[in-house]
Structure 1
Amino acid sequence: MDVTFDRPFRRPDIQTVTTYREVWRVAPFRVLFGARTLAIVADTLRIVALSLLVYAATESPALAALAYGISFLPQLFGSGLLGALADRLPPRRLIALGYLGEAGAAVALALVPMPVWACLVLVAAVACVTPVFHGAANRLIAEVLPGDAYVLGRSLSNLASSLAQLAGLAGAGIAVAALGEREAILCAAAGHLVAALWTRLGLPALSLPATTGRLITASLRGNVALLKDPAIRRLLLTQWLPPGFVTGAEALVVPYAADRGLPAGWLLAAVPVGMIIGNLVVGRMVAPATRERLVPVLIAAMGAPLLVFLTNAPWPGLVAALVVVGGGFAFGLGVQAAFRDALPDGGGGQAFALLSTGLMTAQGLLPALAGLLAEALAPGAVIALLGLATLATAAPGLVRRQDRRHQEQRA
């Protein structure tokens, strides 16, 4: 897809970009990176504060858990019905409106007296459009960072996401304790508002080719076409399933630790730490071709250490195993360029929206399924089963570059 920039910016050369510094010099990426990092902190703060607010009002653990995860499943419907919008509106406008919508919803949650069901419906409604503006942002990153710069950009984004989630969790505890739940949600609204202004003022104006046809019909047809393509479908499943299985396993760490009297906090912190280390090592120190060859190995590294939960290993050993699991998440750096290169012209935004939606859906559903299994089996056994499921996805040859086919299509 051709994108017109109203003012010039520095694009790194495909052959020479090998450092994070070169990627950071691309002005649109800096804006998208900064706004998204701030939005993740705000998202985490809002999710935690709303869950605590719902629990305080209802004393229902089930409703509190629903408030925590209500934004996952609606994204599936939003991507299915509205995904084509990511390729129809200028990215600056669409992304800014998305953050502005998040801010408005947070203000309403904090200031407008509503029953719990109305709060949940509001959060779900905003979640429906989340994959649309995320898809537009990811498409734009792929446009402005060619070649291996794109992978390094995604590596930086992954690092920021992990750190932002940790900061959001810590900030939520501090804000709720110091200010209260509603005031903490207002702080989240302020974060989203700043992200919207940052995007609106920092990104250049972009134009898109004119598109026609009904939005919902185009969205449904576009998703069907993406899923019917064997290469794209394989790459989507590769990015959806291993993280989903591991997230299901993470959801059982707390009950597992409680059964054995282990420090759950150390276990929960291990995976994000491993993710940070893995992204730094694989993103910065491993050559692009080697990253792709390491995909099955890294996926196996996500699954195999979970088998240790079948044993009575001491908690330092479990922490070390979970750090390795987190490091395996860097497999995505070997898949992302292949996924980008396999996409058809003119549908990148919708494809990235579908990728984000499937990932969020898997990470929302598999913890629930893991919880149901844990009603019949010990948590450690379910964690190990999910490790085996992750290992099953580590088939060699799962990822093949599509550059030649993609170049032929462009020609």
Structure 2
Amino acid sequence: MGETARVRDILAVREFRAVWLAEAQSVLGDQLARVALSVLVFQRTGSAAWPALAYALTYLPDLAGGPLLGGLADRFPRRTVLVTADLLRAPLVAVLAVPGLPWPALAVVLVVVQLAGAPFSSAQAAVVPVVLDGSRYVLGQSLLKLTNQVGQLAGFALGGAVIALIGAGWGLILDALSFGVSAVVLALGVRSRPAADVREARVSTLRRLAAGAGTIRRDPRLRVLVGLAWLAGFVIVPEGLAVPYAAEIGGGPAVAGLLLAAHPAGIAIGVFALGRWVPDAVRLRLAGPLAVGAVVPLLGYAAEPGPGVTVVLLLVSGGCAAYQVTASTTFMRLVPDAERGQAFGLAGSGLIAVQGIGLIAGGAAVAGLGSPSVTIAVIAAAGVVTAVPVALAWRRVYRSVPS
């Protein structure tokens, strides 16, 4: 990660510290809410397919939200975008806690919440390389990713027990409060800057969208990095089927929470190991092989393993999936600042969208196959077939990435 960059150095930067603190506390609420939604829908419907579909609604709206709304992070001051998105999401998530909320209404609110998250993610991703440079940026992005994964680990590991104790509704209330806290931290800690994109206001959203897509299309390095990131659509399927899979192997919400925690735990370990002991050039070279390695362990679900073996499979998959940090930091370094929000919106929304598609595919497949374990293994096989050519493409272009 570079000998000149240390964690205490980047945390001494007030703006990055605010972004990090906001991320650290809000991710806990987000993961708790995902467990709450999965349990709530499974309890109401008794179906293995509907929890996966509900989980997908926390991802799929970015198919439109990222491309159409990500550019707001370039057109308006990024602090304003961050705070406004949080203030919008806080009351909407609280609505999800209303007892007896009909499924169609719940789905609509979920979609709006996720749409509001698209410009937030773009603005956050665009702010970090402005306040941190060089090796400090790589370290900062790694710390954010590590924090996100540790937060997911804590949220998922404790989620089942917490939801069993306080109920799904209160879990959603806690998530709503986390958005409010995030808004306050960002408003106080991030400096207001002019919008990065100085083009005239009459430039349409579609033209900006086309410009962002053109930036990615013209650079083969960016195209392959996007492909590497989007392989997450295969890796996420076990999350959407965690509750029914736990039931298949004789477990309940606590086992599901443990399984949900295993993958982010693996990512956290992988991010730390890659950042602590692996040089930048080697991390770039390993991105392709690690992308394949993130999918291969999921083939083990075919044997319908118990909780212990399943946790190991997910830890290994997560450890390899740490390559996503290399992919995202390299992508953002290669994109000009004035286009970062839009480009990240396109790439990031595609990432979230393919995750949502993967969850929907898992939900639809398990309805036909009847077994969560078989479903995960079949989709993992398709993932391996897809990952290998993408990894080979990265092998051809990674040397042209500047250090």
1:272-287 equivalences in 2 (<5 Å): 272-287=264-279
Moved more, 307-316 or 66-75: 307-316
Distance 1:306 1:122, change over 3 A: closer
1:215/1:180 Cα in 2 relative to 1: closer, same or farther (>3 Å)? farther
Residues 237 and 177 (structure 1 numbering): CA distance in 2 closer, same or farther, change over 3 Å?
Answer: same
Match of 2:322, SS state, is: helix
**Aligned mate of 2:384, from 391, 399, 408:** 391
Is 2:233 aligned against 1:244?
yes
Match of 2:331 in 1: 339
Cα gap change, 1:226 to 1:386, in 2 (>3 Å): farther
1:4-403 matches, within 5 Å, as 17-50=4-37, 59=45, 61=47, 66-110=53-97, 115-169=102-156, 172-173=159-160, 176-209=163-196, 210-212=198-200, 213-229=202-218, 230-241=220-231, 243-252=232-241, 259=248, 267-311=259-303, 316-374=308-366, 375-376=368-369, 379-392=372-385, 393-394=387-388, 395-398=391-394, 400=398, 403=401
AA partner of residue 237 (structure 1): G
Q: What one-letter code is carried by the residue in structure 2 that aligns with 1:281?
A: A
Distance 1:46 1:264, change over 3 A: closer
CA 1:174/1:269 → structure 2, altered by over 3 Å: closer, same or farther?
A: closer
| Alpha-carbon distance between aligned partners in 1 of 2:46 and 2:309, rounded to the nearest angstrom | 35
Q: Distance in 2 between matches of 1:66 and 1:200?
A: 34
Change over 3 Å in CA distance of 1:265–1:186 after alignment to 2: closer
Aligned counterparts of 1:180 and 1:265: Cα–Cα separation in 2? 15
Q: Which stretch shifts more, 319-328 or 90-99?
A: 319-328
Change (3 A) 1:258 1:158: same
Q: Aligned partners of 2:238 and 2:352: how far apart in 1?
A: 15
Q: Is contact 2:243-2:256 (8 Å) kept? A: yes
222-231 or 356-365, larger mean C-alpha shift: 222-231
The answer on whether the counterparts of 1:271 and 1:322 sit within 8 Å (CA) in structure 2 is: yes
Distance 1:170 1:302 in 2: 21
Alpha carbons of structure 1 residues 104 and 388: separation in structure 2 relative to 1, 3 Å: same
Q: Report percent identity of matched pairs.
A: 33
Structure 1 unaligned spans of 5+? 1-13
Task: Give per-residue Cα distances to partners, 1:253-281, cap 9 Å, x unaligned.
Answer: 66556555586665544322211211110
SS in 2 for 1:284: helix
- The alpha carbon displacement at 1:198 in A equals 0.5
1:297-337 deviations in whole A, cap 9, x for unaligned? 21232133233344476764443333211100111233233
CA distance in 2, matches of 1:279, 1:82: 29
Length, aligned pairs only:
390
Q: Give TM-score scaled by structure 1 length.
A: 0.82
Pick which of 290-299 and 318-327 moved more.
318-327
Indicate conservation of the 8 Å contact 1:283/1:333, yes or no: no
Once the two structures are TM-superposed, the CA of residue 86 in structure 1 deviates from its matched residue by 1.2
Q: Secondary structure at the match of 1:207?
A: coil
Distance 1:254 1:179 in 2: 18
What residue number does 1:5 align with?
none
How far, CA to CA, are the matches of 1:319 and 1:127 in structure 2?
A: 29
> Which AA in structure 2 matches 1:90?
P
Which structure's relative contact order is higher, taking Cα pairs within 8 Å and 6+ residues apart? Answer: 2
Once structures 1 and 2 are overlaid, which stretch shifts more, 134-143 or 122-131?
Answer: 122-131
User: Secondary structure of 1:72's match?
Assistant: coil
Structure 2 counterpart of 1:138, one-letter code? A
SS where residue 17 of structure 1 aligns?
coil
Query: Is the Cα contact below 8 Å between 1:299 and 1:329 reproduced in 2?
Result: yes
Structure having the larger proportion of residues in helix: 2
Take 2:23 and 2:95, find their aligned partners in 1: how far apart are those partners?
A: 22
Do the aligned partners of residues 142 and 309 (structure 1) sit closer, same or farther apart at CA in structure 2, a change above 3 Å counting?
same
User: What is the rounded CA distance, in whole Å, between the counterparts of 2:105 and 2:190 in structure 1?
Assistant: 34
Q: Are the aligned partners of 2:15 and 2:131 in contact in 1 as well (CA < 8 Å)?
A: yes
Do 1:272 and 1:326's aligned partners in 2 also have CA atoms closer than 8 Å?
yes
1:8 is aligned to: none
The CA RMSD measured in Å over matched residues stands at 3.2
Give the 3-state SS of the residue equivalent to 1:299 in structure 2: helix
Structure 2: which 5+ runs fail to align?
none
TM superposition shift of 1:63: 5.7
Contact 1:226 1:233 in 2 (8 A): no
Greater Rg, structure 1 or structure 2? 1
In structure 2, what residue type is equivalent to 1:143?
V
Closer, same or farther: CA 21–384 of 1 in aligned 2, 3 Å: same
Deviation of residue 131 (structure 1)? Answer: 1.3
Q: Cα deviations across residues 116-157 of structure 1 (Å, max 9, x unaligned)?
A: 423321221232131111101111112222223222222211
> Secondary structure, in 3 states, of the residue corresponding to 2:71?
helix
